[in-house]
Chains A and B, each alone.
Chain A
Amino acid sequence: MKNTPKICIIDDDYIYRYTVVKKMETMHLAANTMDFEDGEVAMEFILKNLKIDSELPDVIFLDIDMPVMDGFQFMKEFLKIENQLSKKITIYMISSSLDPLDIERARKIHSISDYFVKPIKTEQLQSVFSTL
């Protein structure tokens, strides 16, 4: 990995966003982070930078439960534009929900690489960065 990876956190919970950033810092994982408090604003950004790979994130941490546009609604929109992207964006769904329905639903979407239950663990973050 030559460049520092761009990590995008889509979550309405700012405490959570803060903890993730802090966790990466303490783990000395070099990353540029950007965050959106719901799916809609994130999608607006992606659409705006559809062809600008430098602006687009390498990894998205996507929450499910969000106002305005939740995680699954976001994925629905993302799948529509996925083939227009030249950059590969790896998406992880990260939720506090232990509900098997949510987990199963996420698994069925092939563009979601994995599903992590909050809080995200050190090893999980480690593996995210190692696969980059």
Chain B
Amino acid sequence: MGKTTKKKSKIPYHKIFIEQAPSAIAMFDKDMCYLAVSDYWINEYSLYGVELIGQCHYDIFPEITEDSKQLYQECINKELNVFDEIPFKFKDGTLKWHSVNIQPWYITKNEVGGLFIHTIDITPSKEEEFKKARTKEIFAQTKETAKIGTWEANINTRKVYWSTMVRKIHEVSENYIPTIEDALNYYEEHQSRPRVTKIINDALDKGFSFDFEAKLITAKDNYKWVRVVGKPEIIDGNLTRVFGIIQDISEAKSSRNQLNKAYAQLRAVYNSESTAIFSTDSNGVINHFNKGAELLLGYTASEMEGKETPLGFLLIDEVNTFRQDLALQYGKNPEGFSHYKDLTNEDVNDTREWTYVCKDGSTLSVMGTVSAVKNELGNNIGYIAVSTDISEIKQYQNELLAKNELLNFAERLTVMGHWQWNPFDDIAKWSKSLFTILEMDETENLSFSSFLNFVHPDDQQMVSENIELALKDKKFTSFTTRMITTKGKIRTIHLAGVVLTNSKGEVLELMGTGQDITEITMAEKKLRGLLESAPDAIIIVNEQGYIQLINKQTETLFQYEPEELLKQSVENFIPNLLAPIKAAKFSNVATTRQIGVIEELVGLRKNGQKIPISITMGPVEWEDELVVSLGIRDITKQKEAARKILKSKENLELLAHRLTEQNRQLADFTHITSHNLRAPVSNLNSLLEIYKTTDSHAIRESLFEKFETVINHLSLTLNTLIEALKSKGPHSEEDIQEIRFEDIFNSVKDVLAGEILKSGVSIKTDFSKCPIIEYHKIYLDSIFLNLIGNSIKYKSKERKPEIEIESFKQEGKIMLEFRDNGLGIDLEQHGHKLFGLNKVFHRHPDAKGVGLFLTKSQIEAMGGTIYATSKVDVGTTFTINF
């Protein structure tokens, strides 16, 4: 400041001059302290009442930037004269542009005393300038965004200059300069190129301006729509150049196309036969009635348009409901409400089911959307209704409802319901049937715990464990639990289900069925009880013979554990049963049959023991399968009893046979006593009676002769009987011996030597087939003696007597045959007394009727038989079966 004081004399003038200067000007010393300031300055910088003189400029304006400070310092130091436009930001934030003139002032010619700063507010002009710049910028940006480029074709060089944008549009490189022909080649060759070529040629030849739209194919093969505006420049009558702009209008074009498309689609919808569309004017009269409506309702558009209202085919009830609903929706008085008059600009859009009455009187269900039609002012000028026939959907819906009904019915019938449970929200849903089963109200809210409350206390833990397991394994294993209904009844419920998971395998939901199997369980219990109470072992097998069901008795009978029997083939336990099972299966339903009683059927015990069994089997329908039930009975005791009975029967038969034989022999004896013993006795009585009553000596003499005869006869008969009775007694071992037939024959031949010689009989023997027999020798002697004697006695006088004797074996038994050619016997007449005592068939002097009787008695006593075949006057054959 000391320096300034030296020039003090000059200051006042300066000061006054500055103070009154008509612009903002301030004078500073070298330290930028105010020496003088104009009123304009004070005004300009709003420094009223501020003591400026002596104050540093920088203290007054702390906002002065370092750049400005540096500039001022440079001006002082280098004696610079600066003229610049500087923005000045005021404390209040307003920005002003100042044109600033900074000039040093000199104390002496070479010594700077400080600075003059002169500022002019140029903010308004600055803003004008900014505006211009901004407009330019916006224009450029607009060019960019509007994709407008400029071009210029030089007629002489035939080169075309393209701006950056034009190159971008053509997708060519930055410095690409085409010829006119090159440029034309970018246009699409069929439609656009010929047209554009003609336009360009006209412009070049005739100087026509142009403005066209065309399609071009870029260097990168993209299609673009462009608008090209061009203007030829003619100087002195000569065409010098053509210039203009080109704009990419692809997007606009495509919007237009889309609009066209949308419109076409709208037309298509309107013309659609599957959608009925009609609209009404503000009076409710139909003004459009499309093809679909015609088809649906049977009316033609010409019948409807301009003539009818939709009330002609709507149900008045539905229309009234529609009106009411609209009135409510828009807060209007429903009384006398009209959606034509009372809704002036509301955006009505109502979708509901309508019933249309067709021209032929039939009705159909449609889903219809009614929308208000507005004019450009937004006022309602009518309605448009778009409807689709939902009869089929309706039908499906009805079918679905019916099926649901059916499901409910089925659930009721099978006492089954279905359930869903979301374990996270713990929300359960039950079908009606489940509520019914548990006698609950359907309204009750359900959760797992509320479900568990119904479970029988004894089963709760099991149920919880099952559910936990299902959640853990994501697999629901069906189980049966008892549940208690709201009325305290215990029901047995079978729960089956699935676990639904998301793609990550996390459990979403459990769902399944619950079936009340109380009745089934009871039935099962009954069946089980029935099975267990049966006295027999019962096995139910399927048609392949695999065991399905057994009772306790089966385990006892076979001595196996149930699990060793179940699912096994029944053949393992009862061999040879499969064939009868299959037969039973294919036989008539409900016929049972018994096997094993007669044929041998055995059951195999675990320890290998075989037990005789009888089986009653019958086909049974069980769980939709034809199975065979086997009632198995251990018949060991029966078999034993049967064996005993059989044995007893054999014994009895033997006894009966013996008794019969004895009876027959007894009858023989009755006969013998009646006839053969009583006859002589009665004779004796008669003779005695005569003897007593006669006095004649001569008669008495003759009577004694007769007594003798009778007594002799009686003795013979008694002797024969004794002989016969003896043969029935026991035989001692010594009597039985091995005898050669030949030997016996020879000894008998000696005894009968006289008769043989006298009769001249020839006897042929053949004992070669069976030469030896073990027999009672005396009896065999008697057989040969009697039969040979018989043959000789009853020889035919007509023929030379012949006898053939042959021994042989038949069915393991020794046989002996005596054949003669004698008189023969009429066996029809005399067969019954052939072997009787004292029976004779010939009035033969030697016929005594004793021999054959004795022979037969002896043979029968030895367990054999004798019979005869004979033909009168041909011969007789006696056959002995030893």
Chain A partners chain B: yes
**How distant is A60 from chain B, measured CB to nearest CB, in Å?**
19
Stretch at the interface among B244-252, B285-293, B363-371, B668-676: B668-676
**How distant is A2 from chain B, measured CB to nearest CB, in Å?**
29
- What residues of B have a CB within 8 angstroms of the CB of A65 in the complex? 675, 679, 838
Judge if A26 is at the interface, Cβ distance under 8 Å: yes
- What residues of B have a CB within 8 angstroms of the CB of A102 in the complex? 674
Residue of B670, B679, B840 touching A118 (CB-CB under 8 A): B679
- What residues of A have a CB within 8 angstroms of the CB of B682 in the complex? 16, 96, 117-119
Residue of A22, A69, A117 touching B690 (CB-CB under 8 A): A22
Judge if B687 is at the interface, Cβ distance under 8 Å: yes
Interface residues of A, CB < 8 Å — how many?
Answer: 27
Instruction: State A15–B688 Cα separation when bound (angstroms).
Output: 12
A residues 44-87 with Cβ under 8 Å of B?
Answer: 64-65, 67-70, 73
A residues 77-132 with Cβ under 8 Å of B?
Answer: 95-99, 102, 117-119
Interface residues of chain A, those whose CB is within 8 Å of chain B, are: 13, 15-16, 18-20, 22-23, 26, 37-38, 64-65, 67-70, 73, 95-99, 102, 117-119
Instruction: State A119–B685 Cα separation when bound (angstroms).
Output: 7
Instruction: State A118–B849 Cα separation when bound (angstroms).
Output: 21
Contact A23 B686 (CB under 8 A): yes
**How distant is A76 from chain B, measured CB to nearest CB, in Å?**
10
Contact A96 B843 (CB under 8 A): no
Instruction: State A64–B836 Cα separation when bound (angstroms).
Output: 14
- What residues of A have a CB within 8 angstroms of the CB of B833 in the complex? 70
Instruction: State A37–B843 Cα separation when bound (angstroms).
Output: 9
Contact B674 A119 (CB under 8 A): no
Other than the known A65-B679, A97-B678, A118-B682, what 12 A-B pairs have Cβ atoms closer than 8 Å?
A15-B706, A16-B686, A18-B706, A19-B690, A22-B690, A22-B694, A65-B675, A67-B841, A67-B847, A96-B675, A97-B674, A118-B679
Q: A13-B679, A118-B679, A119-B689 are in contact. Are A99 and B670 (CB under 8 A)?
A: yes
Closest Cβ neighbor of B674 among chain A residues? A97
- What residues of A have a CB within 8 angstroms of the CB of B670 in the complex? 99
**How distant is A107 from chain B, measured CB to nearest CB, in Å?**
17
Contact A68 B679 (CB under 8 A): no
- What residues of A have a CB within 8 angstroms of the CB of B829 in the complex? 69, 73
**How distant is A9 from chain B, measured CB to nearest CB, in Å?**
13
**How distant is B95 from chain A, measured CB to nearest CB, in Å?**
171
Closest Cβ neighbor of B847 among chain A residues? A67
Q: Mark B688-714, 1 if CB is under 8 A from A, else 0.
A: 011001100001000000100110000
Q: A15-B683, A23-B689 are in contact. Are A64 and B842 (CB under 8 A)?
A: no
Instruction: State A95–B679 Cα separation when bound (angstroms).
Output: 8
Chain B binding surface, main DSSP class: helix
Q: A23-B690, A26-B694, A38-B843 are in contact. Are A13 and B683 (CB under 8 A)?
A: yes
Can you give 28 contacting A-B residue pairs, CB < 8 Å? A13-B683, A15-B686, A15-B687, A16-B682, A16-B683, A19-B687, A19-B690, A20-B686, A22-B694, A23-B686, A23-B689, A26-B693, A65-B675, A67-B839, A67-B841, A67-B843, A68-B841, A68-B843, A69-B829, A96-B674, A96-B675, A96-B679, A97-B671, A97-B674, A97-B678, A118-B678, A118-B679, A119-B685
Instruction: State A65–B683 Cα separation when bound (angstroms).
Output: 15
- What residues of A have a CB within 8 angstroms of the CB of B838 in the complex? 65
Contact A67 B674 (CB under 8 A): no
Instruction: State A64–B674 Cα separation when bound (angstroms).
Output: 11
Residue of B683, B687, B706 contacting most chain A CB atoms (<10 Å): B683
- What residues of A have a CB within 8 angstroms of the CB of B699 in the complex? 22
Closest Cβ neighbor of B838 among chain A residues? A65
B residues 793-850 with Cβ under 8 Å of A?
Answer: 829, 833, 838-843, 847, 849
Interface residues of B, CB < 8 Å — how many?
Answer: 30
Contact A67 B687 (CB under 8 A): no
**How distant is A21 from chain B, measured CB to nearest CB, in Å?**
10
**How distant is A43 from chain B, measured CB to nearest CB, in Å?**
13
Contact B678 A98 (CB under 8 A): yes
Contact A19 B683 (CB under 8 A): yes
**How distant is A77 from chain B, measured CB to nearest CB, in Å?**
11
Instruction: State A16–B678 Cα separation when bound (angstroms).
Output: 12
Instruction: State A119–B687 Cα separation when bound (angstroms).
Output: 10
Closest Cβ neighbor of B849 among chain A residues? A67
Closest Cβ neighbor of A99 among chain B residues? B674
Closest Cβ neighbor of B843 among chain A residues? A68
Contact B674 A19 (CB under 8 A): no
Closest Cβ neighbor of A64 among chain B residues? B675
8 tightest CB-CB pairs across the interface, nearest first? A19-B686, A97-B674, A67-B840, A96-B678, A118-B682, A96-B679, A119-B686, A65-B675
Instruction: State A97–B222 Cα separation when bound (angstroms).
Output: 150
B residues 621-676 with Cβ under 8 Å of A?
Answer: 670-671, 674-675
- What residues of A have a CB within 8 angstroms of the CB of B671 in the complex? 97, 99
**How distant is B716 from chain A, measured CB to nearest CB, in Å?**
14
Residue of A16, A20, A37, A38 touching B679 (CB-CB under 8 A): A16
- What residues of A have a CB within 8 angstroms of the CB of B841 in the complex? 67-68
Instruction: State A13–B714 Cα separation when bound (angstroms).
Output: 13
B residues 11-57 with Cβ under 8 Å of A?
Answer: none
Instruction: State A35–B697 Cα separation when bound (angstroms).
Output: 26
Q: A19-B687, A26-B693, A119-B686 are in contact. Are A97 and B843 (CB under 8 A)?
A: no
- What residues of A have a CB within 8 angstroms of the CB of B687 in the complex? 15, 19
Instruction: State A117–B685 Cα separation when bound (angstroms).
Output: 13
**How distant is A39 from chain B, measured CB to nearest CB, in Å?**
11
Instruction: State A26–B686 Cα separation when bound (angstroms).
Output: 12
Residue of A26, A67, A73, A117 contacting most chain B CB atoms (<10 Å): A67
Q: Mark B338-349, 1 if CB is under 8 A from A, else 0.
A: 000000000000
**How distant is B848 from chain A, measured CB to nearest CB, in Å?**
10
**How distant is A27 from chain B, measured CB to nearest CB, in Å?**
9
Q: A95-B675, A99-B674, A119-B682 are in contact. Are A67 and B842 (CB under 8 A)?
A: yes
Residue of B829, B833, B842, B849 contacting most chain A CB atoms (<10 Å): B829
**How distant is B52 from chain A, measured CB to nearest CB, in Å?**
189
- What residues of A have a CB within 8 angstroms of the CB of B843 in the complex? 37-38, 67-68
Q: A96-B674, A99-B671, A118-B679 are in contact. Are A68 and B840 (CB under 8 A)?
A: yes
- What residues of B have a CB within 8 angstroms of the CB of A68 in the complex? 840-843
- What residues of A have a CB within 8 angstroms of the CB of B839 in the complex? 67
Instruction: State A96–B670 Cα separation when bound (angstroms).
Output: 12
- What residues of A have a CB within 8 angstroms of the CB of B847 in the complex? 67
